[in-house]
């Protein structure tokens, strides 16, 4: 199998199938996309913000909104790439059905990654709007540029999620990934407070994690903070997406084409 042999028409067919299912449940899905961040920003942004005031030189609501946007993009892509993709790969036999057509396994994986990222895009954009309403966006002249970046963030988390999906023996296995990877990122990658508040070795570690780079791209776009090293951040996110895809495609092939 050549992981570079990708027919966009096939990737789109996989994506479109998932989109059609999502469209059936659009109300519940959108409610979660708008409702959750609204509550988070209201509860933490206003509540905690009252005591904290400013963080990193900007109002806490603005600081938090950009962080929550990133962590939500991470969670959305991760959930889709783990639980939903796992169901389609194993229990429902959806992938096997696709493999009986001209769609190849690497195209299935690519379609799933792009779909998971699309869901991040939907939830991230919802948060951007909610944050705007709650005063979490300081600069709309650059904030709109966050939209393509959210897609990139989604891809960066969907790739690794599909890797875990391909090696997981059951749903229970995902708890390891959440406890060991997702939750530490949520807490130590600058969502709630600056990374430089952490001990130096943790800071080094945080620099390797994709969420740190996601936050450092998004926060300056939504606020008045300066954008530093954007190419570095984009490269790290892109690397996670592409390496994740390559590994996931190979693992999925080993699992399904026996």
Partner 1 sequence: MQTNLSGDSDSNVVVRARDVRKFFAEREVVCGLNFDVPQGICFGILGPNGAGKTTLMRMLVGLSPVSSGEYSLFGQDVADAALHHRIGVVPQQDNLDPDFSVFKNLMVYANYFSIDKDTAQKRAYELLEFASLSARANDGVMSLSGGMRRRLMIARSLVNDPDLVVLDEPTTGLDPQARHLIWQRLRSLKTRGKTLILTTHYMEEAAELCDDIMVLDHGKILDRGTPRELINRHVEPEVVAIRGLNTEADTKLLCADLEVRFEQVGDTWFCYMQDARSLVARCAEDASLTFIHRPASLEDVFLKLTGRDLREEA
Q: Which of residues 19 and 140 has its CB atom nearest to partner 1 in the complex? A: 19
Strand partners, 59: 54
How far, in Å, CA of 85 to CA of 163, rounded? 11
Q: Which of 244, 8, 2 is nearest to 116 (CA)?
A: 244
Minimal distance, residue 18 CB to partner 1, in Å: 10
Number of residues this chain uses to bind partner 1 (CB under 8 A): 24
Q: Which of 53, 43, 52 is nearest to 130 (CA)?
A: 43
The answer to the question of residue 223 lying near partner 1 (CB under 8 A) is no
The answer to the question of residue 224 lying near partner 1 (CB under 8 A) is no
Query: Alpha helix locations (H) across the chain?
Result: 8-24, 26-40, 49-52, 60-79, 85-86, 94-99, 105-133, 140-143, 146-167, 174-177, 183-188, 200-208, 210-222, 230-256
| Alpha carbon of residue 226 to chain centroid | 23
Could you tell me if 215 and 230 are in contact, meaning their C-beta atoms sit under 8 angstroms apart? Answer: no
Beta strands in the chain (DSSP E): 54-55, 58-59
Minimal distance, residue 24 CB to partner 1, in Å: 7
The answer to the question of residue 2 lying near partner 1 (CB under 8 A) is no
The answer to the question of residue 3 lying near partner 1 (CB under 8 A) is no
Dihedral in degrees, nearest 10, Cα atoms 94, 155, 40, 183: 90
Minimal distance, residue 75 CB to partner 1, in Å: 22
The answer to the question of residue 102 lying near partner 1 (CB under 8 A) is yes
The answer to the question of residue 254 lying near partner 1 (CB under 8 A) is no
> What single-letter DSSP state applies at residue 74?
H
Residues 63-92 that bind partner 1 (CB under 8 A): 92
The answer to the question of residue 256 lying near partner 1 (CB under 8 A) is yes
The answer to the question of residue 170 lying near partner 1 (CB under 8 A) is no
Binding mask 24-53 for partner 1 (x = CB under 8 A): x-----------------------------
Q: Which of residues 94 and 123 has its CB atom nearest to partner 1 in the complex? A: 94
The answer to the question of residue 104 lying near partner 1 (CB under 8 A) is yes
Q: Determine the interface stretch with partner 1 among 20-28, 64-72, 131-139, 160-168 (rule: CB under 8 A).
A: 20-28
Q: How many degrees, rounded to 5, is the angle at CA 20 between CA 18 and CA 23?
A: 110
The answer to the question of residue 8 lying near partner 1 (CB under 8 A) is no
Task: List residues near partner 1 by CB under 8 A.
Answer: 9-10, 13-14, 16-17, 20-21, 24, 92-94, 96-104, 256-258
């Amino acid at each position: 199998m050549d992981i570079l042999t990708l027919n966009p028409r096939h990737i789109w067919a996989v994506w479109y199938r998932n989109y059609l299912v999502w469209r059936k449940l659009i109300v519940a899905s959108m409610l979660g996309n708008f409702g959750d961040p609204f509550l988070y920003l209201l509860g933490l942004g206003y509540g905690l913000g009252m005591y904290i005031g400013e963080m990193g030189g900007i109002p806490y609501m603005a600081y938090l909104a950009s962080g929550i946007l990133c962590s939500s993009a991470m969670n959305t892509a991760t959930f889709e790439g783990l639980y939903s993709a796992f169901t389609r790969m194993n229990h429902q036999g959806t992938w096997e059905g696709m493999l009986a057509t001209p769609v190849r396994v690497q195209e299935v994986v690519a379609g799933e990654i792009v779909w998971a990222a699309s869901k991040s895009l939907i939830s991230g954009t919802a948060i951007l709007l909610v944050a705007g309403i709650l005063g979490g966006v300081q600069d709309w002249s650059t904030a709109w540029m966050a939209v393509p970046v959210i897609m990139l963030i989604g891809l960066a988390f969907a790739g690794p999620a599909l890797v875990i999906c391909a090696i997981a023996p059951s749903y229970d296995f995902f708890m390891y990934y959440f406890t060991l990877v997702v939750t530490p990122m949520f807490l130590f990658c600058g969502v709630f407070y600056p990374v430089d508040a952490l001990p130096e070795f943790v800071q080094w570690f945080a620099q390797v994690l994709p969420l740190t780079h996601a936050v450092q791209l998004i926060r300056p776009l939504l606020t008045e903070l300066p954008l530093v090293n954007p190419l570095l951040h984009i490269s790290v996110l892109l690397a996670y997406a592409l390496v994740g895809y390559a590994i996931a495609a190979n693992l999925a092939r080993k699992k399904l084409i026996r």
